[in-house]
Amino acid sequence: MDSWLLEFRMNTNKVNEETKKFMDQMSKLIKTLDMNCNLMFENRKDSITALYMNSNGLKVLLQQTDGGLFTLDIHATTRRNSYFKDRVNQLDENIRKLDFAEIPKTPRYESLPALKRGREFSCYDVSDGMIGEKDFDKVVLDEVTSRQNIRILHSVAFGNVFYCNGDLNLAESDYEGFSHAMSGFGKVDYVDKTVLILGGGDACVLRRIKDLGPSMITVIDYDQRAIDVTKIYLPTICGDVLNSMTGKNYRIIIGDAGEYLEKAVKNRLKVDIVINDITCIPVVSKIDGREWDFVRKLLNLSMGVLKDGGVYITHGVSPSHLQAQESFENEIHKLDYSVHFTKEIATIPSYQENWLVYLIWKQLKNEHSQSDTQTNSINKM
């Protein structure tokens, strides 16, 4: 079902004085959507409410609210050609030409586009009370593995887009932006370094850094199927890296990143760089839930395996989520290690918004700072 939500300002005094004329004109205009769309219900007591319907599932609801605001909700349950959208736009324009209509002091904004409901997939991202529409045109893959739900949707602008458990991971268009950000924005030296990537089974970061001179890269991802799906549907992301689970200076292990870190700490394993490509900062009202517990676990254990002078690179969140940033930075301040961090602004095409990535440096023992933790300003790269 497609839903158009139109709204208009009318002169309330005129409408009240000539209600029948107003309703006759509205009914005539609504019939331009469909000649068989007839008035089925009308109530003029206190305020106007009217429902128009036809036999093909078209419903049009007219409502009068306070302050001269009228809303017109159009619900079409059958798939229609583009001509119907044109008719809705023409109806919108014609209603604003009525003698009853208030002339706005400033240019009016365009009416909302149709809300697409009941599809095989949702075109919408809803976050922090805001809604964004994606240009998806088909479901490429929708599968529940033993570990998670994997869904790949095709975007006209960004190619195949990879979702895990409803969260956007990356798209075919994202290799350069994503790998540049999650490898440290060119600020991290990989020569002769040991690297641990948590998650990262799509090989986006691995593909970028394997040729930057590291001595060994270990990738810990818990879903073999996600790796296989990336090879098939997102080859622009992984290249030929996933043709083998091992290479000259890398290995991919199927396992739980948290458990791997716990064993590494117990066995006193040390690495130069840890890249957390599993999770971002949770945007939730409370910081005592399962998601935050997982973020804290990865942060603390990763610091335990980092060598002095090493760096922990992790996803942040949209720069607009100030409270989430503050909560995460408070967790950094609580660490039992002397660290400093920067947060960089990344541009990843399919995200359609700026994205923060944190670089948290574990200080050398001979380094001294005025405080245990130093916060640097945001850098835009």
Residue 371: other Cβ atoms inside 10 A: 9
Partner residues linked to 146 by β-bridges: none
Q: Which amino acid is at 274?
A: V
Q: Find how far residue 110's CA is from the centre of its chain.
A: 25
The closest of 58, 48, 57, 46 to 20, measured between CA atoms, is 48
> Which residue of the set 2, 92, 221, 277 is catalytic?
277
Cα(49)–Cα(69) distance, integer angstroms = 12
Cα(276)–Cα(14) distance, integer angstroms = 63
Q: How far apart, in Å, are the Cα atoms of 99 and each of 10, 19, 68, 70, 245?
A: 9, 12, 14, 14, 72
128 is catalytic: no
| Max Cα distance, the chain (Å) | 85
DSSP 246: B
- Strand 194-199 relative to strand 216-221: parallel, antiparallel, unpaired? parallel
What amino acid positions are annotated as catalytic residues?
Answer: 277
